[in-house]
C-alpha cells in the first residue's frame, strides 16, 4: 500500500524567543515492511537542521533557530510503501536488547489495578498480549481529544475514556507487569484518526515474545498493526517517542497546533 503523509506542526509565542532548540522524531526508517519513497522536512524560517539517531535507533533531526522569533511552522511531507504485516515487526534497527524494555518509567509504571487487569490474561505470551489488546478496547471508550502528556498509565486507567496515547501506555504497563518487554510506538495510521476533528500522530505498542520478536498491538482498536500503519519512533514511553521535544529561550506563553493527513495514493501497490 502506498501512503502519503502530511504533518504540520505550528508553534506560536506570546513574546519573541531568543533561541529555539527542538528534537524532531518525524522521519520513519526503512524496515522489511515499510519503504520510505520520499520524505522531507521544511521549516518556515532560517534554521539549522542536523540529522542523526537516538539511543533507541530512531531517526532524529535537531532543529536550531536563533531569534527573535514569534512562531514556527514545521511541515513534513512524504510517501511510504507498506507491505503485508501479520503484527510482527521485522527489519527494525535494534541497538538495545529486549530486556531493557521490561523497565518501567514514571509514565508507564503499573499500579495494583493495572497489574490485576493484566493478570486476567491467560495462555502463552502472545495469547496474553492479544487478550490484553482486546480487553483494553472493551474497557475504555476511545477519546480523540488532544492527549494530556503528563498523564500516567495508572492515572489513565482510573478514567472511563482514553486517548490512543493512554491506551498504548496502559498496554505497555500491563505487558511489563506480566514480565514481557514492551515499548511505546509513535507514527501514522490511515484509518485510526478519521473520527478526530483535528487528527494528530497515532500511538500504539509493541511487545517482545521470545522466538517471535517484536509484535505490534493497537489497543485503541483491538487489532494488530497492519499495512495501514507507518512506524516512526519507539521508546520506553510516549515522551521518549514524542514527534517534537525541545526547549526555548524566552519568556511568555506557547501555543502548539498539530495537523496530520494520511491518505492512500491512487494506484498504490497492495
Q: What are φ and ψ of residue 15, in 5° steps?
A: -135, 150
Write the CA distances from 122 to 119, 126, 171, 215, 252, integer angstroms: 7, 10, 15, 18, 52
Residue pLDDT, tens place only, 187-232: 999 987 655 555 678 999 999 999 999 999 999 999 999 999 999 9
Mean pLDDT on 227-250: 95
pTM (2 decimals)? 0.93
pLDDT at 270 (0 to 100): 40
CATH class assigned to 2-81+244-264: mainly beta
Residue pLDDT, tens place only, 1-10: 999 999 999 9
| Residue-range domain boundaries for the chain | 2-81+244-264, 84-241
pLDDT at 199 (0 to 100): 63
Write the CA distances from 61 to 8, 141, 234, 238, integer angstroms: 15, 35, 15, 18
Residue pLDDT, tens place only, 91-108: 999 999 999 999 999 999
Q: What are φ and ψ of residue 84, in 5° steps?
A: -65, 135
Spatial CA neighbour of 234 closest among 178, 200, 186, 176: 186
Q: How far apart are CA 121 and CA 7, in angstroms?
A: 37
Instruction: State the average pLDDT for the chain.
Output: 93
pLDDT above 90 coverage of the chain, percent: 86
Q: Does domain 84-241 have CATH number 3.30.2350.10?
A: no
Q: How far apart are CA 200 and CA 110, in angstroms?
A: 26
- Give the DSSP letter string of 53-77: E-TTS-EEEEEEEEEEEEEEEEEEE
Q: How far apart are CA 119 and CA 15, in angstroms?
A: 51
pLDDT at 85 (0 to 100): 84
- Scan for cell 506542526, then name that residue: 9
* 197 DSSP assignment: S
Amino acid at each position: 500500500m502506498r501512503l502519503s503523509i502530511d504533518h504540520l506542526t505550528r508553534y506560536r509565542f506570546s513574546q519573541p524567543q531568543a533561541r529555539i532548540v527542538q528534537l524532531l522524531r518525524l522521519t520513519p526508517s526503512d524496515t522489511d515492511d515499510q519503504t520510505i519513497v520520499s520524505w522531507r522536512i521544511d521549516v518556515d524560517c532560517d534554521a539549522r537542521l542536523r540529522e542523526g539517531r537516538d539511543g533507541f535507533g530512531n531517526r532524529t533531526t535537531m532543529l536550531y533557530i536563533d531569534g527573535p522569533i514569534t512562531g514556527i511552522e514545521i511541515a513534513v511531507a512524504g510517501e511510504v510503501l507498506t507491505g503485508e504485516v501479520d503484527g510482527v515487526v521485522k527489519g527494525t534497527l535494534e541497538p538495545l536488547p529486549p530486556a531493557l524494555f521490561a523497565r518501567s518509567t514514571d509514565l508507564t509504571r503499573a499500579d495494583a489495578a493495572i497489574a490485576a487487569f493484566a493478570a486476567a490474561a491467560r495462555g502463552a505470551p502472545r495469547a496474553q498480549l492479544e487478550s490484553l489488546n482486546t480487553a483494553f478496547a472493551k474497557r475504555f471508550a476511545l477519546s480523540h481529544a488532544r492527549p494530556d502528556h503528563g498523564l500516567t498509565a495508572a492515572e489513565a486507567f482510573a478514567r472511563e475514556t482514553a486517548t490512543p496515547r493512554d491506551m498504548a501506555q496502559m498496554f505497555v504497563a500491563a505487558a511489563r507487569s506480566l514480565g514481557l518487554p514492551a515499548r511505546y510506538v509513535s507514527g501514522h495510521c490511515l484509518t485510526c484518526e478519521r473520527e478526530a476533528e483535528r487528527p494528530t500522530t497515532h500511538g500504539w505498542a509493541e511487545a517482545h515474545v521470545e522466538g517471535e520478536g517484536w509484535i505490534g498491538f493497537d489497543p485503541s482498536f483491538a487489532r494488530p498493526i497492519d499495512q495501514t500503519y507507518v512506524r516512526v519512533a519507539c521508546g520506553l514511553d510516549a515522551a521518549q517517542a514524542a514527534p517534537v521535544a525541545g526547549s526555548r529561550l524566552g519568556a511568555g506563553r506557547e501555543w502548539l497546533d498539530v495537523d496530520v493527513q494520511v491518505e492512500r495514493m491512487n494506484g498504490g501497490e497492495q
